[in-house]
Structure 1
Amino acid sequence: MAVAMVTGAAQGIGADASVRLAEHGMDVAVLGADEAAHADTVRRIAETGRRCVFVAADVADAGAVDLALTRVRSELGEPGVLLNCVGAVDRGPLRELSDQDWTEAVGGPLRGVFVTSRAVVDPMIKNGGGRILVLADVAGGDRPSAARNSVVETGLAGFTRTLAMELRPFGITANVIAPEASATDLTAAAAAAGGAGGGSAYAAGALDAVRFLVGAEASAVSGQIVHVAMTARRP
């Protein structure tokens, strides 16, 4: 599993997770809409000594993702890991949301994970296995977006469990990494906590979970929602 394909890696925990995969010995393909926004992530991956390629793609567009996958396979090889990093989208209180706001806040993240996961399934089956991960940094705390983000997290969990059941016979695992249910506003906590991985103890624990779930020791772990506590810290 020497090649990883990552979405949502422009900054924050998504960027840190991409670098962690490179440090774990993987070449990394970063998919996104804005190359300039991913320049720092690509630089950090290159500094680990691993290969990295940025591929411009709207992850909600199936055609664009298929083209991106073709380029990844050509330049780096067959992806053995797909990591979708999904962040919170705050559109304000429910009573103020338009239909478009709801679609972007809820439907957008879910569709992106669906499209990218579907794209890698056949190649992973042909290659004898793989890892599909969702890093769902969507806890809302007391913010108006909390309800919507909980819908996104629930949808991601259900979709991932379905993937896990369908793909178990092919040696492909699927798991979600998410904030502990009782965690409060991650933005405020990140600013206060300090430390690795985007400045929060949650981020440090989430990155450790990414490293574990892509490793050989997690080959039998699938369909799980790995909740990482805000208090989790490196020893």
Structure 2
Amino acid sequence: MAHAAQPVADAPGQPLALHVNDLSVARGGVALLEGLSFSLTAGSALVLRGPNGSGKTTLLRTLAGLQPALAGSVSVPPDAIAYAAHADGLKTTLSVAENLRFWAAIYGTGAVAPAMTAMNLTALADRPAQNLSAGQKRRLGLARLLVTGRWLWMLDEPTVSLDADSVALFGNVVRAHLGRGGAALMATHIDLGLPQAAVLDLTPFKARPGTVGADGFDEAFL
């Protein structure tokens, strides 16, 4: 029988860290990865690599708490994770500034101007999100990370729809986050210019054929 990963809270006063131990994950009832272990600490970044369908998105969703694991343990401090997936998560009728103020209120953080400056959105502050280009929407979606106040950024192909200048801009944002003691776990094939980033190839952790996923669970409903 499949078992959900057991959360293990970090002890008070311990350094911020993500610890993954012997983790197995599945999608649509089919096991994708098994026996995966790694750690991520303050100031560090880890890039997930592997072919399409190898389980990168499923792993990120599992670690973000959006679906159960088959087995293993995940240790991460409470309220540590900001997850950015393929959708930009925007309210289309709100302006750029209003979208960021909405998310800042959700997370209980402060001013949004620094986030707009960091992602080159200041000139677009009053423009409704529905009138933005695909690249501008992506920049706004990524700017949300800066108003979460969260320590660990989990990013699934964050540079989709971004041109080269915007990719470089986002690379600067991630480097600044790491410099402040944050951490980043991302699935991307784009070089963001992060010399401290390690690479984890998921190919060796492919689940054995016939491994059964979670009974009756379909993450499509989450």
Both structures adopt the same fold (TM-score exceeding 0.5): no
State the structure with bigger RCO (CA 8 A, min sep 6), 1 or 2. Answer: 2
- Larger Rg over CA atoms: 2
Give TM-score scaled by structure 2 length: 0.28
Q: Point out the structure with the larger helix share.
A: 1
TM-score scaled to structure 1, two decimals? 0.27
Higher strand share: 2
